[in-house]
Amino acid sequence: MNLRTPRTGGLALLAAVILFLPLALVNNYWYEVAILVGINAIVCVGLNLLIGYAGQISLGHAGFFGLGAYGSAVLTARYGWPPAAALAATTAGVALLALLVGRPILKLKGHYLAMATLGLGVIISIVVVTEDRLTGGPDGMSVPAFTLFGLALAGERLWYWIVGGVLLAAVWIALNLIESPAGRALRALHGSEVGAQVSGIDATRAKLGIFVISAVFASLAGSMTAHYAGFITPGKVGFFHSIELVTMVVFGGMASTFGAVIGAATLTLLPQLLTVLKEYEMVVFGAVLIATMVFLPRGFLPSLVFILKKKQK
């Protein structure tokens, strides 16, 4: 086992961080922050497969996150489904939706793709806000706790381990996908779509597959958020959350799974730290975003690796 490859070494490091982080989490507030980081990281790991490896931008992933959250919430709270069944049905539904809309959407390129995914996200968020009899509208709705074999899963500490476990699984799946034939095909696509197609890669299928997987990751994260928080509002479904997610991926470094995790952690923590700035929060956040992209256009982790490699030489 080579610990220097991201597949084993990186995964071991991430597991160690998740295992020992509770030593630093002094109270429930920091547990909440850590869970939020984990949930964002799960979405970003999936989104990074799409943006970083398949080279397809999505400005609407908060829509899938929201569908997951509201799917679980509505099915359990309004129709009395068992949470596990609601989770399964919601995830399957989101996967199906991604499959159906992914076909025409992924034919688009560049800014047209950005517009289409953005439109999809905005439509989902408007539906969530408008169908207030089901979703509670702008006020949000409360969600019953997730029960498994009659036991309710509640409390920050328990959810920390659940989210940590799911994150580890998500990273493991992503790392394996990247090294699988499908992952290699995707990287070829990112390099040169025509070249990849000439080499016999079914570009549409490869992109569609990743699109569905990233949507499922987002949906699962949404369902977990709904049950963990016990309450869900449309804010998490909107355009801004989509943008936040893309920003996390790009900030951490595209085409780097651990970069996506670092990006999610940094940009989830930053606003928490910036709250001390009160009314200057938005200004500083915007400025940090611009500065990072200008000075580290590859994103944080790849730039760091680049600098370290240059020093070794």
Chain residues binding another protein by CB under 8 A are 51, 57, 104-112, 114-116, 118-120, 122-123, 126-127, 130, 193, 197, 203-204, 207, 239, 243, 246-247, 250-251, 254, 279-290, 293-294, 297
Nearest-approach distance from CB 81 to another protein, in angstroms: 27
Output 106 or 213, the one with its CB closest to another protein: 106
Q: 228: Cβ–Cβ under 8 A, 6 or more apart, which residues? A: 35, 39, 146, 159, 162, 163
Q: Could you tell me the CA-to-CA distances from 150 to 73, 145, 199 in Å, in that order?
A: 18, 11, 53
Q: List, in sequence order, every beta strand (DSSP E) within the chain.
A: 141-142, 146-148, 151-153, 231-232
CB of 110 to another protein, least distance (A): 6
Separation of alpha carbons 38 and 41, rounded Å? 5
Q: Output 104 or 150, the one with its CB closest to another protein.
A: 104
Q: Which is nearer to another protein, 11 or 249 (CB)?
A: 249
Q: Whose Cβ is closer to another protein: residue 22's or residue 137's?
A: 137
**Nearest CB to another protein, comparing residues 14 and 49:** 49
80 or 104: whose CB is closer to another protein? 104
Q: Where are the beta strands (DSSP E) in 8-142?
A: 141-142
For residue 313, the SS3 value is: coil
- Encoding tokens for residue 223? 């369902």
The answer for residues whose C-beta is within 8 angstroms of residue 137's C-beta and 6 or more apart is 129, 130, 131, 234
Please tell me the distance from the alpha carbon of residue 158 to that of residue 151, in angstroms, as a whole number.
Answer: 12
